[in-house]
Structure 1
Amino acid sequence: MPQHVTPLPPALSPSPSPSPAPAPASAPTSAELLDFVRRTAADQELVDSLPLDPEGRTWVRLDGPGGSEAWLIGWPPGTGTGWHDHAESLGAFATARGTLTENALAVRLPASGWKTLELADGLDRSRRLSEGTGRAFNRHHVHEVLNESPDTHAVSVHAYYPPLPLIRRFSRTGAVLRLEQVERPEDWQ
């Protein structure tokens, strides 16, 4: 997760859209998470309430649909996440301000039992997500998210279900992907 936590004042919790989507009766789908992050990213008052730090990412936790975990994240120019996945959680994110780049692998990696993998050719995918655009992803989705702008902050909304049990962090050199660290929620507090 990002470098510092900023609590969201109760008065600045996400305002409902003009016609809010009904709460899911069971676990939210990736489509429902995507709908939530898009609607929340369009909430200009909420987006404007996020304090931005010129040095590191900032974030506030939000209430996501159906018990999901959600975050509003500020990205200073030139920052990124590094390669990681969200384990058994599916998720979605949308850009509320600026442009983010997502580099991803078009393959599902084994959940465990490995430290180093050599990736086949043709697995890399890259997409730019400008303001108002988003995407959903399934479990074990390996990616990195970057604000490649040299001078503009970006802001995004992310949601995960089930709430993140862990994040696996990877290093990458050419075609070699190496598991470097496993983080658990207590590491982000």
Structure 2
Amino acid sequence: MTHEALPGPPPARILSPDELLHLARAVGERDAWRDCLSECDDERSYAAYFLNEHVGIWIIEWRDDSHDTGYHDHDWSCGGVYVAQGAIRHEKLRLGHRPVGTRVDAGSGFCFDRTAIHRMRREPGAGPTVTVHAYSPPLTYTGQYGQHDDGLLHRVPTSSEESLQPTGRQGTPTGRIGDGTAADS
């Protein structure tokens, strides 16, 4: 899409995490993202929405409770995520402890710096969910994390063009309140 789909002029510099959340929210609230998603019943779909040398914006549609990014980082990029529809579970990795998990509902979001390792999945039972992701500098690589057979945490470098999927064992996820697991939100 062109910059006309943005709520203002195209960014002309690298943005901070707070600025990225503001941008993701502005895009998500405009509903202009709806045209860039294709209908898909069994896979998480994603589409590039805007890209220049300073910022990349992606739209992700989560159509099933099993859709899960697994733990990952964003290499050199900071980010802001806005939930435009539905709800996601955002989990931060903690070594030796359960992850810190938070339900993020439509109309809310979060941001992160380039040191963050996190996981996102559709909140169980939330229905179709759409998130807007803004990265600065534009996302080119991610690192996917998982515990492998040797018991160690491994990072697998992955192109940003590839769909994130859990790799290796991901530990015990946080759950919804009332589902029999301890929710950390």
Q: TM-score, normalised by structure 2?
A: 0.73
Q: Which runs of 5+ in 2 are unaligned?
A: 164-185
Does structure 1 residue 88 correspond to structure 2 residue 63? Answer: no
SS in 2 for 1:67: coil
Paired residues of 2:80 and 2:112 also in contact (CA < 8 A): yes
Distance 2:11 2:30 in 1: 21
Distance 1:184 1:49 in 2: 21
With CA pairs under 8 Å and 6+ residues apart, which has the higher RCO, 1 or 2?
Answer: 1
Question: For 1:50-86, what per-residue CA distance to the aligned partner results, in whole angstroms no more than 9, with x for missing partners?
Answer: 2231110112212257721110111112111111111
Moved over 3 A (4+): 13-17, 22-25, 185-188
Q: Which runs of 5+ in 1 are unaligned?
A: 1-7, 107-118
Paired residues of 1:85 and 1:169 also in contact (CA < 8 A): yes
SS in 1 for 2:91: strand
Paired residues of 1:99 and 1:128 also in contact (CA < 8 A): yes
Question: For 1:1-31, what per-residue CA distance to the aligned partner results, in whole angstroms no more than 9, with x for missing partners?
Answer: xxxxxxx5x6xx76454xx4x6555311111
Does structure 1 residue 27 correspond to structure 2 residue 14? Answer: yes
Map of 2:174 onto structure 1: none
Q: How does 1:1-189 map to 2 (within 5 A)?
A: 15-17=5-7, 20=8, 24-47=11-34, 50-63=37-50, 67-78=54-65, 79-105=67-93, 119-121=95-97, 124-150=99-125, 152-172=127-147, 178-185=153-160
Classify 1:14/1:77 alpha carbon distance in 2 versus 1 (closer, same or farther; 3 Å): farther
Opposite residue 78 of structure 2, the aligned amino acid is L
Q: Kindly, what percent of the aligned residue pairs are identical?
A: 26
Paired residues of 1:91 and 1:137 also in contact (CA < 8 A): yes
Paired residues of 1:91 and 1:158 also in contact (CA < 8 A): yes
Paired residues of 2:11 and 2:55 also in contact (CA < 8 A): no
Classify 1:98/1:38 alpha carbon distance in 2 versus 1 (closer, same or farther; 3 Å): same
Paired residues of 2:36 and 2:49 also in contact (CA < 8 A): no
Paired residues of 2:12 and 2:54 also in contact (CA < 8 A): no
| Root-mean-square deviation over aligned CA pairs | 2.7
Opposite residue 63 of structure 1, the aligned amino acid is F
Classify 1:24/1:59 alpha carbon distance in 2 versus 1 (closer, same or farther; 3 Å): closer
Distance 1:156 1:14 in 2: 20
Aligned residues: 160
Question: For 1:118-156, what per-residue CA distance to the aligned partner results, in whole angstroms no more than 9, with x for missing partners?
Answer: x2447x321111111111101121111011334711001
